[in-house]
Chains A and B, each alone.
Chain A
Amino acid sequence: MELFKKTLLILVAVFLFKLMNSCCLIFGDCCKNDPLPTSFNNIKISNVDNSKEYDVLTTSNEMKRAAVAFNVNVFDTNYYNYYSYAKSCSFGFSQAYAMECENPFAVITRINCISITTKYDINSSIKAGEEVVNHFVAKTEFWSLSGLYSTVDDVLDNQRGVIYEPWLDIRFYLKIPVENNIAQFDFQIFMSDGSVISDSTNLISIVD
């Protein structure tokens, strides 16, 4: 009985220590996570339906002539490793308080510039193979009233040093209507470490 009591006491002490370690003190800073380094090294391009009031991602390869838009997701393929690292660093129970701590990421490799070339003629003056990035505007926030577009240069200038997901979504919107019946674009992203990430959009059927 005495042994049982001592064992129980030790277990309770360990339990309480772990519990205290999991709690957020009332006046304490609950989220002290140091930013984890992240470097974008991959890209995924999705189609965007911007023909209605608000833009939404779509799997359709049809777009309206004046509503050609793409979502470019630049991400770090190693981010699962970062999450497991962040999780392994905490001792105790999972955080029990209502507030959820975000894992900040420090962007090490930034986007220097973006090149977009068209694979097909857009109209009689913009031919296949030409650089068309200046005919696009961009956004990084997509809620319903997130404001006007920005130039691609402004979006790149406003990259934040610390982000809360190890990826970045940029939406590109073509300002001019496509006169051709098909469209496809090559995206090349030049990173600050000299690497280049590139991908192409799907072949888009242009409809009226």
Chain B
Amino acid sequence: MAKFFSLLFALCLFSYSAFNQNVEKSISFFVGFQGIFCDSFPDKSNQDFLNYIDRDGLSGNYAYVGFSGRIDIDQKYRASLSFGMYSDFSPTNINLTTSYYPFKHLGFGASFFGYPQYISYYFSYFQNNSPGMYPDLDTNSEQDRIYNYGFAVGPEYSLRTKRMDVSLRIHIGFRREQTFEAMLYQKRINSNYLVRHRFESNNEFVPYIYPELEALILVLKTETKKFGIKFHLAGEYTKRRMNYTQESSEWIENQTTRAKVVSNWHQYSKVDLDLGIIYFW
């Protein structure tokens, strides 16, 4: 759905720009990496899934390449769309921003982001918290992807010179992740007793801050073409938690109990840093 709206948005903008003379278009190719930081708490009486998201700091495990396009109309309206691809080469790291500058340097805008995130070995909690049981009958390793997305609005600052275009925005909005589901089978040692736990996250929108810095530096200029370097730094700062419903069925399907589990708040941040080449026309 996010991709559909992004493409629709891009199509509208390019259509509009085709009929407008005072339009500057640019396209860029970039490489970058993502750093993810998240608090981890000791597991207490319940599983906390956010303890198991991949958070590699700035180790660069979430490296990506991508493309972005940007349109400036009358130096008042600006829109950009970027698709980043991780090792699977699927354009899943999406950023969409639109801006309006009523003043020369000051404006405001809106943004949308979406990116996937791995959650791995999330049942290792049960290895130490299932006395008398075989803690996980599934010997395959667990790794799933959850998709994060958010919408934000806020003020922007832009500085343009002949060789450089720097934009700074600080947006505030709401974010959440898609529903996460998992299933665990356990069996009592020396017994026929079998239990299945189903987990389904109850996601909620939480506020987040999205600061972004983008610098375009002109390097080469001919009569009709301009090439440059693009530097982009964006962050996401929030507090997240992953509450869930745990449905436990003992022996047979209809012997089921349900419990809603409230998890800890985790301080969470993400940094995207990328560098690329840009072509203006």
Contact = CB atoms under 8 A, between A and B. Distances in A.
Nearest to B255: A148
28 contacts: A50-B192, A51-B189, A51-B190, A52-B134, A53-B134, A53-B187, A54-B137, A66-B188, A66-B190, A66-B191, A67-B190, A67-B191, A67-B192, A68-B192, A69-B192, A137-B192, A137-B251, A144-B137, A145-B185, A148-B194, A149-B194, A149-B252, A150-B252, A151-B252, A154-B252, A173-B192, A174-B192, A177-B191
Contacts of A174: 192
Interface string A160-174: 000000000000011
B273 to A, nearest CB: 42
Contacts of A54: 137
**Contact residues on B (Cβ < 8 Å of other chain), bracket:** 10 to 19
Interface string B168-191: 000000000000000001011111
Nearest to B139: A144
Contacts of B193: 66, 175
Interface in A130-150: 137, 144-145, 147-150
A119 interface: no
A148 B252 contact: yes
B253 A145 contact: no
Contacts, number: 51
A157 to B, nearest CB: 13
A83 to B, nearest CB: 35
A149 B134 contact: no
Given A53-B137, A66-B192, A137-B252, 16 more contacts: A50-B192, A51-B189, A51-B190, A64-B191, A65-B190, A67-B190, A137-B192, A144-B138, A145-B138, A145-B185, A148-B196, A149-B252, A150-B253, A154-B252, A173-B192, A175-B251
A190 to B, nearest CB: 23
B97 interface: no
A54 B136 CA distance: 12
Interface in A170-205: 173-175, 177
Contacts of A151: 252
Nearest to A65: B190
Contacts of A52: 134
A149 B134 CA distance: 17
B249 interface: yes
Contacts of A173: 192
Nearest to A147: B196
Contacts of B139: 144
A204 to B, nearest CB: 14
Given A51-B191, A67-B190, A148 B137 contact: no
A127 B121 CA distance: 47
Contacts of A175: 192-193, 251
Contacts of A50: 192
Contacts of B190: 51, 64-67
Contacts of A137: 192, 251-252
> Which of A66, A148, A151: most chain B Cβ within 10 A?
A148
B214 to A, nearest CB: 48
A181 to B, nearest CB: 16
A67 B107 CA distance: 71
Contacts of B191: 51, 64, 66-67, 177
A162 to B, nearest CB: 25
Contacts of A53: 134, 137, 187
B73 to A, nearest CB: 56
B249 A145 contact: no
B184 to A, nearest CB: 10
A20 to B, nearest CB: 45
